[in-house]
Structure 1
Amino acid sequence: MSKPDEIPALSYILEPALVASLLTAGCLLNRRRPADIVQAHAVLRDDPPPAGDNGWNWHEMKFFMWTIKVPGNERFRMKLFSRFLGMFPFLMEVWYWLLTYWIYQIARAIQALTMGADFRSLAETHARQIITIERFFRIDIELGLQHFVMKREWLLIFFNKTYAMVHIPATIAFMAYSYRYFNPLIFQSTRRTLVLCNCLAFIVFSSWPCMPPRLLPYEEFGYVDTLHTGKAASSELQNCGPFQNQLAAFPSLHFGYSFVIGLSLFIYSPHRLIRAISLFYPLLILLVIMATANHYILDAVGGFFVTIFAQRLNRLLLNLRPIEEWFFWVLRIERPMDKVQFQSVIESDKINSPTHREMSQPLMGNHV
């Protein structure tokens, strides 16, 4: 593993700065004008409770098989942070992403600290099983690809940096772009799919641990851990230390996320250039995860099926909406108007013709 002094000093600054810059850009790109916010509330006649009212303003929401009451948070509309959040609703997506990311990472860290020697032995057994299956079907291309890449230093550095630095920034950039340009219902479905991918992947690698190629015995298999060479080392990977579960090769979330991102952009992006290059992203990630010996090709297959399953089940997450409403009530903050509802109100109010009003989409809510 690389020593700290082998890592370029700027990596400790540039990598976090890139993430922060993308999150900030997403907030600015998707900001709402105060006039539009006032207009949307006026059209809906969504007024805060009158003075002296206790402000609970109960309404019913589905929580799995039950219908429960949750309090409205309209009374907090004029508070400073409520107004700020209303102007920059993408902060909600930042919150969703950070919550998902840290729950996932903490769960992996706990598992990494509590696993025993038997867990590692089981992970190696599963890795050997994957290699046996790949050899049977003659798709064990990982080692040959790695040898090809390692003979070309510039390509090795590019692949290492791509693995270490692209996954999180690309996901954030995709979220900011899709929030801005996708149909709101499509965006919400895609975001829920990505969230559920983490949950399903954690269940799989907790019950079926798998050792990545780079951790298999070199004398027997010949895989090299390319990510920890001095030139290509990443501060992100260096700082994971013992709090990273390295026995979670199957399924590959790197590929699963890239597949969702690439396919979504190809189908839903309004920009021709982005549609043209979108499918190269999952292909690049597939090559990167194999060339760096972090995943087998069957890990990518597993990641593919996890995303398909997550897409089919993503509406389950809507059942968590009451928890979110209570959370905002406790914080005394009004939750920003849902983008589906906000966009429908703004667009329909700009159309004066009764004919056009009849053709406008209905208001829709209760979407996480």
Structure 2
Amino acid sequence: MAIGAVLEPLVVVSLLAFGTIVNRNKSNSSWSPFSAKRPEPWRHIKYSSDSDEEDVEASRRREDEITLLPPTLSRSSSSSDTTLAEDGFDKTTPPWRPRKLRFMGWEKEVTTPNTEVFRTRFLSRVLQRFPFLVEVWYWALIYWVYQLGRAFTAVTLQESTVHTAREHALQVIHVEQRLGIFIEPAVQRWFLQSPTLMRWTNRVYSFIHIPGTILFLIVLYHFTTARPRRTLQKEQGDRAQLGDNWRELAPQFGPAVYERRRRTMAMCNLLAFIVFTFWPCMPPRLLSDPTYTGEYAKEAKSFGFVDTVHGADGDSSVWTTNRFCNQYAAMPSLHFGYSFLIGLTIATVPLRKRGRFGWRRLAIVGIGMIYPAVILAAIVATANHFVLDAVAGACACLLAWHFNGFLLNLLPLEDYFLALVRIHKP
């Protein structure tokens, strides 16, 4: 456990550092963090043959007209030259930009700071060279906000909440019995027959979830963002410096896909936090608590669930054994929710030869479902989740998949924060 307290965080930090280096901006014209000279983004860019120069120029003029100034402000200069103040502030870039808030058909346009005026500052140039650092920040924000929420519920836990969580767990069992899917005791007994298999299942549950999710984000970012950016830079020439709107030229499986999956994870966390805060549920392993002698003791202990992960011979993780971990947040299972998201992403990767039911699509769907199947077996065999916990995790994933755009309403808040710290996000 003492080694794990150091090794597990080290693995996470190493993965994030690896992702930052692998997904760095390799362009010869990308900014050096120690050079304040701002390149001219469009001077050397060539466009595909289906767009003539007049269309490109007209598109740029339209973009300039709609992006940056609120109605009450006018351009301070029409010159394409860049004027920098001593503190790296770009005087010619308009200081404001419009953002749209949307919710169920309602829409409102608001004006927020345009952080591009800080594009040439040191930290902005660092992010330009290592754009995955932005994703490291997002992951840390998503993970730690969620964990702090769980920690708050853990430290403020009352005994009545434990009783409620136990009752809810028994209710889940009763529903599964009616549906004919109460298979958890049988599954665990089968795994317990093979100590080696059980030991590796414990390790899958404890040590794969967080590193596996981070590795997924690194790989997805590479194929949807870093590699298309490098390909486009090569097509435009080594001297080309792509502007922030290069994403418009990216392929279908591009940066927008990655950003939607990242928002989906954040939305999963939000939905899970709401559920376990208002409907706490005890994991199966805690139903066998020998110290419990209350009203439901006989029924709770009758199922014979064994805590294989947190026992003396278990392989527990530092992320799930600290005092700030809420043990009564089994519903929904984010272990399965995240794995299902990863599986769906793999299953929906665009293929060169299109067709929904071709053998290639069936093969890639099968490959995508391997990981969630392994995680489902692990969470059930270790008695950390019920089958319905996994179903709830999948439902949370699907809801977040379809409604992740709601989080775009937080962009104005991000703009003000970045303006406060004087950083431009690439």
Tell me the TM-score normalised to structure 2 length.
Answer: 0.71
Does the alignment pair 1:111 with 2:153? yes
C-alpha distance 48-288 of structure 1, shift in aligned 2 (>3 A): farther
User: What displacement does 1:221 show?
Assistant: 2.3
The residue that corresponds to 1:365 in the other structure is none
Q: Does 1:50 align with 2:131?
A: no
Partner of 1:263: 344
Where in structure 1 are there 5+ consecutive unaligned residues?
A: 1-6, 337-368
For residues 137 and 61 of structure 1, what CA distance do their matches in structure 2 show? 48
Which among 164, 172, 176 is matched to residue 214 of structure 2?
A: 172
Other-structure match for 2:328: 247
Q: Which amino acid aligns with 1:25?
A: F
**Residue identity matched to 1:178:** L
**Counterpart check, 1:316 vs 2:406:** yes
Match of 1:156 in 2: 198
Structure 1 residues 275 and 21: CA distance shift in structure 2, 3 A: farther
CA shift, 1:237, in A, is 4.3
Q: 1:36 to 1:267 in 2, by over 3 A?
A: farther
Q: Say whether the 8 Å CA contact 1:49–1:74 is kept in structure 2.
A: no
Q: Which residue of 2 aligns with 1:87?
A: 129
Q: Which amino acid aligns with 1:50?
A: T
Deviation for aligned residue 1:229: 2.9
Whole-Å separation in 2 of the counterparts to 1:110 and 1:150 = 35
TM-score normalised by L of structure 1: 0.82
Cα gap change, 1:51 to 1:137, in 2 (>3 Å): closer
Q: How far 1:39 sits from its partner (Å)? A: 6.5
Aligned to 1:100: 142
Q: Does 1:31 align with 2:30?
A: no
Say which structure is richer in helix.
1
Deviation at 1:329, TM superposition (A): 1.0
Counterpart of 1:356 in structure 2 is none
- Whole-angstrom CA distance in 1 between matches of 2:92 and 2:160: 57
% identical aligned pairs:
41
| 1:280 and 2:373 are equivalent in the alignment | no
Cα 1:276/1:18, change in 2 over 3 Å: farther
Rounded to whole Å, the distance in 2 between the matches of 1:248 and 1:238 is 11
Q: Is the 8 A contact 1:48 1:77 kept in 2?
A: no
| Paired residues of 1:262 and 1:279 also in contact (CA < 8 A) | yes
Structure 2 residue 116 is matched with structure 1 residue 60:
no
Correspondence for 1:234 among 300, 316, 329? 316
Larger mean CA deviation between 62-71 and 142-151 belongs to 62-71
Structure 1 residue 298 corresponds to structure 2 residue 388: yes
Question: How do 1:340-359 residues align onto structure 2 when only pairs under 5 Å count?
Answer: none
Rg comparison, structure with higher value: 2
Q: 1:252 to 1:239 in 2, by over 3 A?
A: closer
Structure 2 partner of 1:21? 14
Could you tell me how far 1:74 is from its partner in structure 2? 2.5
Aligned partner of residue 417 in structure 2, secondary structure = helix
Cα contact 1:23–1:172 (8 A) shared by 2: yes
Q: Point out where structure 2 has 5 or more consecutive residues left out of the alignment.
A: 31-38, 46-59, 65-79, 86-90, 225-253, 290-300, 353-359
Do residues 193 (structure 1) and 254 (structure 2) align? no
Cα distance in structure 2, aligned partners of 1:179 and 1:131: 40
In the aligned structure 1, how far is the partner of 2:134 from the partner of 2:16? 11
Q: Show the counterpart of 2:249.
A: none
The aligned runs of 1:194-209 (5 Å cut-off) are: 194-209=265-280
Cα distance in 2 for partners of 1:305, 1:275 equals: 19
Describe the shift of the 1:220–1:231 C-alpha distance in structure 2 as closer, same or farther (beyond 3 A): closer
User: What's the offset of the Cα at 1:13?
Assistant: 3.1
Q: How far apart are the structure 2 equivalents of 1:201 and 1:48?
A: 49
Report the alpha carbon displacement of residue 327 of structure 1 after superposing the two structures with TM.
1.2
Question: Is 1:335 aligned with 2:335?
Answer: no
1:248-271 Cα shifts (integer Å, max 9, x gaps): 111111101100101211221779
What secondary structure sits across from 2:391 in the alignment? helix
**1:236 aligns to what SS in structure 2?**
coil
The answer on whether the counterparts of 1:193 and 1:314 sit within 8 Å (CA) in structure 2 is yes
Deviation at 1:132, TM superposition (A): 0.6
Residue 175 (structure 2) pairs with residue 133 (structure 1): yes
CA distance in 2, matches of 1:308, 1:160: 27
Amino acid across the alignment from 1:146: Q
Counterpart of 1:104 in structure 2: which amino acid? Answer: Y
- Using the alignment, how far apart are the partners of 1:122 and 1:84 within structure 2? 50
Distance 1:176 1:158 in 2: 25
8 Å Cα contact 2:285-2:384 kept in structure 1: yes
Q: Is the 8 A contact 1:57 1:72 kept in 2?
A: yes
- Give the superposition deviation at 1:61: 0.8
Deviation at 1:322, TM superposition (A): 1.1
Tell me by how many angstroms 1:48 deviates: 8.5
Partner of residue 68, structure 2: none
The alignment covers a number of residue pairs equal to: 328
Which residue does 2:111 correspond to in 1? 69
Counterpart of 2:356 in structure 1 is none
| Contact preservation (8 Å) 1:253, 1:303 | yes
1:276–1:297 distance in 2 versus 1, CA, 3 Å: closer
